[in-house]
Amino acid sequence: LFGLMDGFLKNDPLSLQTDILDHVEYTVARSRFSFDDFEAYQALSHSVRDRLIERWHETQQYFKRKDPKRLYFLSLEFLMGRSLSNSVINLGIRDHYADALKQLGFDFEVLAEQEGDAALGNGGLARLSACQMDSLATLDFPAWGYGLRYQYGSFRQVILDGFQHEQPDYWLNFGNPWEIERVHVSYPVKFYGTVEEDILNGQKYKIWVPGEMVEAVAYDNPIPGYGTRNTINLRLWAAKPSGQDDMESYNTGDYINAIVNRQKAETISCVLYPDDRSYQGKELRLKQHYFFVSASLQDIIRRFKEEHNNFETLPDKVALQLTDTHPSLAIAEVMRVFVDEEHLSWNRAWDIVCKIFSFTTHTIQPEALEKIPVDLLGSLLPRHLQIIYDINCNFMEELKKKIGLDYSRLSRMSIIEEEGPVKNIRMANLSVICSHTVNGVSRIHLELLKTKVFKDFYELWPQKFQYKTNGVTQRRWIVVSNPNLCALISKWLGTEAWIRNVDLLMGLREYAADADFQQEWKLVRRLNKIRLAEYIEAMSGVKVSIDAMFDVQIKRIHEYKRQLLNLIGIIHRYDCIKNMEKSDRRKVVPRVCIIGGKAAPGYEIAKKIIKLCHAVAEKINNDPGVGDLLKLVFIPDYNVSVAELVVPGSDLSQHISTAGYEASGTGNMKFLMNGCLLLATADGSTVEIIEEIGEENMFIFGAKVHEVPTLRDKGSARKPSLQFARIVRMIREGYFGFKDYFGSLCDAVEGNGDFYLLEHDFESYLEAQASADKAFVDQKRWTQMSILSTAGSGKFSTDRTIAEYAESTWGIEPCKCPF
């Protein structure tokens, strides 16, 4: 019996093969002797899943026994991408599986390509949450992630005639082996209704009498750490009709309609909202937020109460991290549970609340801060509205004592925005007031928070404000996505220890000029470029030369990210080539310009940028006089797995936001780790990258953060650029077709309309591009810069970010599950 009980799954080839074939037969229900690649992928993933579940169980039991302070990481978005390769690498059994599969006649890489992306998020914030989960697991922190299990993730971008179309991403169609459905872990979530009063022991209490109830069901996604058995949990909630329905409605005769109405509950977790930062005040989105918050808190409080009976100790056991303001209704919900359900006094409840929440903002523009119309909140969550008003009332009283009757400052700091046609709740103010720590995502971001967005709050509570520069996980962004580079790094460092301790990458500096190392480095990079070139040809039909410089800008399409500056630069390059003497063309450094990214479905200008990219590509790629000197390709449906292919294969990457507009940026870090050079503005985390690897190893250009407001004020008094104006005129006058369609795009970058200062930065952008060309010609120098980029990327690991959060924000310690 004991032999059976300690029997962990074995990882020798025969056991793995038996396992996979058993899953073919019993899970996928196919013949062991005949199954295709997708079925093999399914069986393989289930076999990996079994191993994840083992460790997940051990870890959870260990946490329960040790009962350390736990971190609950609340985020409405997680961009996990694919799980297979990541899991087997973190479990340390990739090669075991590859060998076992080979003997069965399958190639691991081919099967890994069968997997679709889990895209339960939009962009930077969502991928950051995923990277942070990987670091939390790897560093053995007792952490739980909570999120929503959207049935439809980020829309699929389809390009027709150069225009973006959005299609639903029904990612669960073929099943999801990476989740475990927990039919018994479910909680009721209430909406609407009224607030009534009750008297208990002579004390008045508010009671929320809800009008609608749905059920939140848990789906657990194991997150394995690397080089540890710790496997933490990402719990995602799905909405289901409530089991506690009033049976009366079935007796009224309209059985069919009663069922149909019940089924509507599922719409709550049905679809991820595209990141349209101005799209606020929608009831369904608010419902999603509360659904998420209510289910997660019921789960967290239940777990706490299993071991403890006094809420005073909650702050010693629980840290709640708010990823932007999206989950910040949690603050009002904890107050409601404490006061209305647990019957704590308001002041005791408030004391505890102020000790458990920390808030990280990923936003930089004041106008993008989340607001909820008071009327909307009052109808959906009447009791929460009262609580928020009470929190605000107390805060205003305290504030008056401190700052006096400075009414304009009081009204700026109030949670309730009274000005404007409708009253709004300012979720950011609520979050700042109730959190013990407010974090920015880069040093410059914190500076802007202190001096602009949260100036009033910073002056009141300077000690609350901190920053933790973002990072990315080297496991996903080097080990999984660039295996050849990974092997090369380990070979020259003589160790794989950098995969857990990324600062060791610094050791590569020593070999940056070594001819042998450079040779091997170049070879790895070339193989990655070949892989990318094949993908480009398959996606767009454009054949590109491997010897050209691969110049990449992939990220969400946004005006402040200035894809348009890139395009205008490309047109300028095209124009120069066309106007050149034939003999001079030999001096041109051939380029393949690659752009990719989704535009929010309602963001007209962003969609026009995508169309312009296609129109320009059409012209350039079909101009025989240009040939391999310049190609432009748009990579459709940019997502995590596309990034895993593109990042390792690029030479130069662009991060060219107007200074002061990118809170951090994390794409820059992925490229940096992979030895791709950066052409960038001194914005967000790039400022810190410059400090780590030196400006001489990058191409930095453009106005600095402190210059931007003055430049903007100058308006049309700014120095014009004739070259810039000429290109905008070409676009406007129909040189690339679609004359009328591009008019508004041109208006947005001309004269006073040029809010993001494209024209001002254009000349220095061209200079930076020229320096990049010059550096590329000298391949020895370029390769050295490339090596130094990777070598200096250590700071930008989420391992560092998470260690900082653990120490100075969450107060948690590692809890390593023993063997």
Q: Which lies closer to ligand 26Q via its Cβ, residue 235 or residue 362?
A: 362
**DSSP-derived secondary structure letter, 546:** T
Phi-psi region of 100 (alpha: psi -120 to 50; beta: other; left: phi over 0): alpha
Name the nearest CA neighbour of 260 among 269, 249, 270: 249
Q: Minimal CB distance to ligand 26Q: which residue?
A: 124
- Cβ contacts of residue 85 below 8 Å, gap of 6+? 94, 112, 480
Q: Minimum distance from CB of 420 to ligand 26Q (Å)?
A: 17
Residue 490: other Cβ atoms inside 10 A: 15
Polymer length in residues for the chain: 819
Q: Which lies closer to ligand 26Q via its Cβ, residue 276 or residue 351?
A: 276
Q: Which lies closer to ligand 26Q via its Cβ, residue 395 or residue 603?
A: 603
Q: Minimum distance from CB of 724 to ligand 26Q (Å)?
A: 26
Q: Minimum distance from CB of 327 to ligand 26Q (Å)?
A: 12
Residue from 49, 362, 525, 760 carrying the catalytic annotation:
362
Q: Which lies closer to ligand 26Q via its Cβ, residue 577 or residue 663?
A: 663
Q: Which lies closer to ligand 26Q via its Cβ, residue 275 or residue 637?
A: 275
Phi-psi region of 393 (alpha: psi -120 to 50; beta: other; left: phi over 0): alpha
Helices (H), 12-164: 13-26, 37-66, 84-91, 94-104, 108-112, 124-138
The residue behind tokens 């191409």 is: 699
Residue from 70, 371, 529, 555 carrying the catalytic annotation:
555
Residue from 666, 686, 798, 809 carrying the catalytic annotation:
666
Q: Minimum distance from CB of 600 to ligand 26Q (Å)?
A: 9
Backbone phi and psi for residue 702, each to the nearest 5 degrees, phi listed first: 90, 170
Up-side HSE of residue 242: CA atoms within 13 Å toward CB?
Answer: 15
Q: Minimum distance from CB of 559 to ligand 26Q (Å)?
A: 13
DSSP β-ladder status, 652-655 and 424-426: unpaired
Round to whole Å and give the CA distance between 796 and 790. Answer: 10
Q: Would you call 618 helix, strand, or coil by DSSP?
A: helix
Residue 308, burial from CB neighbour count under 10 angstroms (0-12, 13-18, 19+): middle
> What is the DSSP secondary-structure string of 464-487?
GEEE----B-HIIIIIIT-HHHHH
Residue from 229, 289, 561, 608 carrying the catalytic annotation:
561
Q: Are 651 and 549 in contact (CB under 8 A)?
A: yes
Residue from 229, 591, 670, 795 carrying the catalytic annotation:
670
In Å, the largest CA–CA distance within the chain is: 96
Helices (H), 697-797: 708-714, 722-732, 743-747, 758-777, 779-791
- Cβ contacts of residue 481 below 8 Å, gap of 6+? 643, 644, 645, 647, 648, 674
Q: Are 721 and 762 in contact (CB under 8 A)?
A: yes
Round to whole Å and give the CA distance between 21 and 237. Answer: 32
- Asked if 670 is an active-site residue, the reply is yes
Round to whole Å and give the CA distance between 791 and 800. Answer: 16
Tell me the angle at which helices 37-66 and 84-91 cross, rounded to the nearest 10 degrees.
Answer: 50
Q: Are 444 and 387 in contact (CB under 8 A)?
A: no
Round to whole Å and give the CA distance between 477 and 135. Answer: 13
Q: Which lies closer to ligand 26Q via its Cβ, residue 650 or residue 798?
A: 798
Q: 269 to each of 111, 198, 215, 289, how far by Cα in Å?
A: 30, 33, 11, 10
Q: Which lies closer to ligand 26Q via its Cβ, residue 140 or residue 662?
A: 662
Q: Which lies closer to ligand 26Q via its Cβ, residue 211 or residue 602?
A: 602
Binding site for ligand 26Q (CB under 6 A): 122-125, 128, 273, 275-277, 279-280, 285, 362, 370, 441, 470, 662-666, 684
Round to whole Å and give the CA distance between 596 and 635. Answer: 5
Q: Which lies closer to ligand 26Q via its Cβ, residue 441 or residue 659?
A: 441
Single-letter amino acid code for the residue at 726: R
Q: Which lies closer to ligand 26Q via its Cβ, residue 277 or residue 585?
A: 277
Q: Which lies closer to ligand 26Q via its Cβ, residue 384 or residue 555?
A: 555
- Asked if 426 is an active-site residue, the reply is no
Backbone phi and psi for residue 786, each to the nearest 5 degrees, phi listed first: -65, -45
User: Which uninterrupted H or E stretch holds 402?
Assistant: helix 382-403
Distance between the two ends of the chain, CA-based, in angstroms? 20
Q: Minimum distance from CB of 648 to ligand 26Q (Å)?
A: 20
Q: Minimum distance from CB of 467 to ligand 26Q (Å)?
A: 11
Name the nearest CA neighbour of 681 among 776, 601, 756: 756
Q: Minimum distance from CB of 431 to ligand 26Q (Å)?
A: 14
Q: Minimum distance from CB of 158 to ligand 26Q (Å)?
A: 22
- Asked if 445 is an active-site residue, the reply is no
Q: Are 131 and 471 in contact (CB under 8 A)?
A: yes
Single-letter amino acid code for the residue at 591: R
Name the nearest CA neighbour of 681 among 708, 712, 647: 708
Tell me the angle at which helices 758-777 and 722-732 cross, rounded to the nearest 10 degrees.
Answer: 100
Q: Which lies closer to ligand 26Q via its Cβ, residue 566 or residue 664?
A: 664
Q: Which lies closer to ligand 26Q via its Cβ, residue 111 or residue 128?
A: 128
Residue 402, burial from CB neighbour count under 10 angstroms (0-12, 13-18, 19+): exposed
Known catalytic residues are 362, 555-556, 561, 666, 670
